[in-house]
Amino acid sequence: MCRCGSAPPGDGRGVRLSLRQEIPDRRSVVVAGLPRGFPVMELRYWGGDWGLPSVHPECLAVLAYAKFGGAPLTLTPVDYTWASSQGEVPLLIHKDDVIALPVNILSYFRKQKYNADYVLSAREGSDTLAYVALLEEKLLPAILHTFWVDPDNYSSVTRPWYASRIPFPLRFYLPGRMYREALNRILVTKGQPPLYSMNEVEAQIYKDAKECLNLLSNRLGRSQFFFGDMPTTLDAFVFGFLAPLYKARLLKVQLQEHLKQLPNLCDFCDHVLCVHFTEHTEGTSPAGQEAIDANLQKLTQLVNKESNLIEKVITCFLLSIDSSNQFACISLYLHYMRYKYCLHQASTKVLVK
């Protein structure tokens, strides 16, 4: 069964890159080139926003590890068309293998020799396993709560975002199902007898998560990555879990506020984004936002100028019918064309972002 249908037909980097440029609205984007005839690994994932390559923590962790290990991927953002509505996300498809769950996907990358962990000693490998368990037990419930269960964040941020990526009529059903799954996970794992009301469960999971963030901050200290100078599995997971929390524009921000008080973790997220995901970093960071605003202003000015020019050209053309001043008309027309070109460029820039 070959499910790599969305991979571009040509092999080799040059061909693919040119395809990408010719068809800008194509959903799959190739990260890096592959040797000729090598089957492409396809990753289904939730797409990006807020300056991130993916808004979904687990997808982001997988993407980050693929970057760290240099794994070439065909990226297929989930759109839940009827054809692809089955299965979980993230999902890796390679030849006949279909792999779910981030941990399995990461070990599959390692088997394919895209290993970011070869620098680790055995003991550091053990530490990685332990810290990933810590993240899953202590931080994940609060992140799920922040994005899915908190009513304000869910109705104003999470549900609109996911619903806009899912076609009608599934958009009315799937976000609700994801909300129920998140709530169920929190209640089943954390909602045990002494904590009877949701408020108590919330207090407990946020307390645990803040403690976990403090522990991570202490562990990271002043180093660039968790184990020396090279990013590894643990960095991928921490980045995946923290970056959406750091970048999302949420209404209820108690965990986000706490994260922002830990500058080394914020710097860590910025650093990974900046070094490994440069194409996504512009856009929604405060600086990126200013850039967008500036571009919009420029665009508005250009539109105004253009309408003025059109008027002038028309007047000039009318005048030129009975006067001999055709030179002025042509020069004005050339100016008009130049502005039109600038306008086109500016608008594509804004639209791309």
Partner 1 sequence: MWSGGIPAMSLVTDAFVSQIAAVEPWPENATLYQPLRSEQVLLSDNASCLAVQAFLRMCNLPVQVVCRANAEYMSPSGKVPFIHVGNQVVSELGPIVQFVKAKGHSLSDGLDEVQKAEMKAYMELVNNMLLTAELYIQWCDEATLEEITQPRYSSPYSWPLNSILVLQKKWEIKRKMKAIGWGAKSLRQVYEDVDQCCQALSQRLGTQPYFFNKQPTELDALVFGHLFTILTTQLTNDELREKVKNYSNLIAFCRRIEQNYFEDHDGSSSSSLRLPKGPALP
Chain contacts with partner 1 (rule: CB under 8 A): 101, 122-123, 125-127, 129-131, 133-134, 136-138, 150, 181, 184-185, 188-189, 192-195, 199-200, 202-204, 206-207, 210-212, 215-216, 218-219, 221, 252-254, 257-258
Cβ of residue 96: shortest distance to partner 1, in angstroms? Answer: 19
Given the structure tokens 């929604």, which residue do they identify? 284
- Answer yes or no: are the C-beta atoms of 56 and 90 closer than 8 Å: yes
Residue closer to partner 1 by CB (options 104, 315) is 104
Tokens of 23: 């068809």
Minimum gap (Å) between residue 250 Cβ and partner 1: 11
Minimum separation from the CB atom of position 95 to partner 1 (A): 21
**Nearest approach, Cβ of 60 to partner 1 (angstroms)?**
18
- Give me the residue label for tokens 């040509």: 10
- Which residues, other chains included, contact 307 with Cβ-Cβ below 8 Å and sequence gap of 6+? none
- Nearest Cα to Cα of residue 132 among 280, 34, 214, 234: 234
Give the pair of three-digit tokens for residue 296. 């919009």
Give the integer Cα–Cα distance in Å for 118 and 248: 33
Distance CA 61, CA 116 (A): 13
d(CA 210, CA 218): 12
Least distance to partner 1, CB of residue 61, Å? 14
Closest separation between CB of residue 253 and partner 1, Å? 7
Torsional sign, CA 24, 29, 35, 38: negative
Report the residue number, 42 or 150, with the smaller CB distance to partner 1: 150
CB of 93 to partner 1, least distance (A): 18
Residue placing its CB nearer to partner 1 in the complex, 43 or 220: 220
Nearer to partner 1, 185 or 335 (CB): 185
- Per DSSP (E only), the strands in the chain are 29-30, 41-45, 73-77, 91-94, 97-100
CA–CA dist 239, 244 (Å, integer): 9
Nearer to partner 1, 199 or 278 (CB): 199
Task: Identify the helix (H) or strand (E) that includes residue 212.
Answer: helix 198-220
Q: How many CA atoms lie within 13 A of 54 on its CB side?
A: 23
Supply φ then ψ for residue 45, to 5 degrees. -150, 165
- Residues in CB range of 289: below 8 A, 6 or more apart: 283
Sign of CA dihedral 105, 68, 16, 44: positive
The least distance separating partner 1 from the CB of residue 163, rounded to whole angstroms, comes to: 24
In this complex, which beta carbon is closest to partner 1, that of residue 21 or of residue 197?
Answer: 197
Shortest separation between residue 226's beta carbon and partner 1, angstroms = 11
116 and 65 Cβ atoms separated by less than 8 Å = yes
